[in-house]
Chain A
Amino acid sequence: MNATDLPRLLAGAGRGAPSLDAHLAHHGLPSLSVDGVGLVAAVEEAGLHGRGGAAFPTGTKLHAVARTRRRAVVVANGAEGEPASEKDGVLLAHAPHLVLDGVQLAAGAVGAREAIVAVRAGADAAHAALAAALDERARARRDPVAVRVVATPERYVAGEESALTQFLSGGPARPAFTPPRPFERGVGGRPTLIQNVETLAHVALIARHGPDWFRALGTPREPGTALVTLSGDVERPGVREIALGTSLQTLVAHGGGELSHAKAVLIGGYFGAWLTAADAQTVRLDAAHLRPHGASLGSGAIAVLPRDACVVAETTRLAAWLARESAGQCGPCVHGLAAIADLLRGLTDGRVARARHQAHRRGRATAEDALSCLRRWSGDVAGRGACRHPDGVVRLVRSALDAFTADFDDHARHGACDRCALEPALPLPSPPSRARLRAAA
């Protein structure tokens, strides 16, 4: 068994979710103390980081909530607003008991008597598997903590911690201007532990096998495995479990793709960063190797762009969609992202090139060329929202400008290329609708 198909989280899961008996037969019983130490210490020792995108140390979060000594709430975050990611939905559909074990263990560790599993409204298989699993567990009377499932709006920002907290407290699924952080005052004003569903599944395995087992895969600084979603120009797209530090080349080959035939790879989802095919062939999937490229694994979404696709057109489409996905609260996000998306559109519809020609004909220098303006706006917008939405969008745009400067320059001079009109290579949900946020709110 090689490093890219060692399933830990998805082990024992066949086509659908295993029964509770089958789950326990395969994984054994979890315990709140493992290898002679408490669960929180074990998780810290394991070096588990959150798998929702921010990669925050899980043990630190558990400690912070446990320390409040008030009645806490545990939230398993499966809102998965990232269109290129399917891993939370797949995990819930195939291993709901592992996630629910993690929920119970985390609740025990932080002193919670209430837990919520938040799942994207459209993730039907996940909802069905969770409902069946909870029903089985209720009948078996195994769980000390009551768990309810909440369907979250299908919006990019709905999974952001403060947005999810507001939504679960009866408000709109929009980010809040923090502090207080959810661990201090979260759902219903109570200390709230929010962990990605995959993170909790890892907790459930650490509670069985201990930190040393967990560290046997992955890198010393980023131990363990992670679920990734491979999409784009590969024969077998979908969710896979990899050891952190696995080479991207290996993962893509496993999916039946070939990086030497690719134009680019988007790592970390639509908030992520573009790598050239050449860089993609040498990079390993851990923070230390991705950071020099301005990338991070994020929630594990990886999209391979075929060689005949236009990276400018693809970036333009993603930026336009992400700009519309703004929660609409902060000026720099609302106006800045709209302006960036519009200027990108100008590159692919010829406006920028025409303006440039006219300026030249009249013997005037253009005040500021479009690409410099994109860079300036990207710098101005970063870090200026209540949440990290604008930061993610400008990371995508900047990485495209950096990795494919010649392509952008060509569009700025000559307008659309032959490939701009091709069918989009990267999927986007349609239509992006503000109405759904309101309806849910």
Chain B
Amino acid sequence: MSARAQRPAPPAARAEPDAGARLRVNPIACEAHGLCAELLPERVRLDDWGYPILDDRPLTPALVAHARRAAAACPTLALALERDRSSKNQ
């Protein structure tokens, strides 16, 4: 896991290897505050009405902590990190 070792560690980072996880937004809960696009521009852009359009690719190790922070910052808790669908079993 050399990629993990190189990952910059932001303050709230927990040491979980969530590489391969994906972002998912609950479109019913989302109210277009737009913080996610501020905090994770690598994977989130806003449409013309301010709602996030997520890049569906799995997160790289370097982005996981930032994605986690973006999810935590969402005022309506609409953004979540999900395990890769292939391993999702709920």
Q: Please report A residues at the B interface, Cβ cutoff 8 Å.
A: 176-177, 179-180, 329-333, 335-336, 339, 377, 380-381, 384-386
Contacts and interface: CB of A to CB of B under 8 A. Distances in A.
A177 B29 contact: yes
B28 interface: yes
Interface stretch (B13-21, B48-56, B59-67): B48-56
Contact of B47 (A179, A180, A336, A386): A336
A179 B28 contact: no
Interface of B: 26-32, 47-51, 53, 90
A327 to B, nearest CB: 9
Contact of B48 (A177, A179, A333, A380): A380
A60 B50 CA distance: 39
B27 A385 contact: yes
Contacts of B29: 177
A386 B27 contact: yes
Contacts of B27: 177, 329-333, 384-386
Q: Nearest 3 CB-CB pairs, A to B? A: A330-B27, A335-B49, A331-B51
Contact of B49 (A176, A329, A336): A336
Given A177-B26, A380-B53, A384-B53, A331 B48 contact: no
Contacts of A176: 28
Q: Of residues B28, B31, B53, which shows the largest number of chain A Cβ atoms within 10 Å of its Cβ?
A: B28
A386 B90 CA distance: 18
Contacts of A380: 47-48, 53
A377 B28 contact: no
Interface of B is mostly: loop
A36 B27 CA distance: 47
Nearest to B32: A331
Given A335-B49, A336-B47, 13 more contacts: A177-B29, A329-B27, A329-B28, A330-B27, A330-B30, A331-B31, A331-B32, A332-B47, A339-B49, A384-B47, A384-B51, A386-B26, A386-B27
A333 B30 CA distance: 12
Contacts of A332: 27, 47, 49, 51
29 contacts: A176-B28, A177-B27, A177-B28, A329-B27, A329-B28, A330-B27, A330-B30, A331-B27, A331-B30, A331-B49, A331-B50, A331-B51, A332-B27, A332-B47, A332-B49, A332-B51, A335-B49, A335-B51, A336-B47, A336-B49, A339-B48, A339-B49, A377-B48, A380-B53, A381-B47, A384-B47, A384-B51, A385-B27, A386-B28
A335 B31 CA distance: 12
Contacts of B51: 331-332, 335, 384
B19 to A, nearest CB: 23
Contacts of A377: 48
A161 to B, nearest CB: 16
A179 B29 CA distance: 14
A380 B53 CA distance: 8
A291 to B, nearest CB: 22
Nearest to B29: A177
A339 B32 CA distance: 16
Nearest to A377: B48
A381 B48 CA distance: 10
Contacts of B48: 335, 339, 377, 380
A335 B90 CA distance: 32
A268 B20 CA distance: 37
B90 A179 contact: yes
Nearest to B46: A380
A376 to B, nearest CB: 9
A179 B50 CA distance: 25
A335 B50 CA distance: 10
A329 B51 CA distance: 13
B50 to A, nearest CB: 8
B75 to A, nearest CB: 14
Contacts of B53: 380, 384
Contacts of A329: 27-28
A233 B87 CA distance: 50
B72 to A, nearest CB: 19
Nearest to A390: B27
A176 to B, nearest CB: 8
A335 B46 CA distance: 13
A429 B31 CA distance: 31
Contact of B28 (A330, A335, A336, A381): A330
Contacts of A335: 48-49, 51
